[in-house]
Amino acid sequence: MSGRTDSKRFRVRRDSVSAARRHVRTVLIGRKLGGLADDATLITSELATNVIAHAKGTGDYFELGLRRRNGVLILEVADSYQWLMPELRKPSDDETSGRGLLIVDALAERWGVRPRNPGKTIWVHLPVRTRLP
């Protein structure tokens, strides 16, 4: 998977969240990166859920990309919703949502958002740890 991007499009609908999680797990296990599968699938779930909740009606698809480069797994979720860039915030105790990016922030080495035309891409870096003999 080094340098090569595995990209897949998913429809902007609820059942795509679980399909995206399954895809990430399958790709990572197939590329001998199964140790990252739990964190990567949780991050994928949070980001795909955000697309479904906030980008509905702006495009039919979102795109999920995975690649390994320089000891880092780069996970990207891109959509066509361009009016609101996600921001890390701390929801109040009585709010029932708004914690997804807190989870991403806790699991990722780094993450960020970059605009694209149209829309945005959220990228996440997860370090690939190798076992010592």
48-87: per-residue pLDDT in tens? 998 988 876 667 899 999 999 999 999 999 998 766 667 7
> What are the structure tokens assigned to 59, written together?
């495009």
Rounded CA gap, 110 and 130, in Å? Answer: 19
Domains of the chain (ranges; CATH) run 6-127 (3.30.565.10)
Q: Does residue 19 carry a pLDDT above 80?
A: yes
**Average pLDDT for the chain:** 86
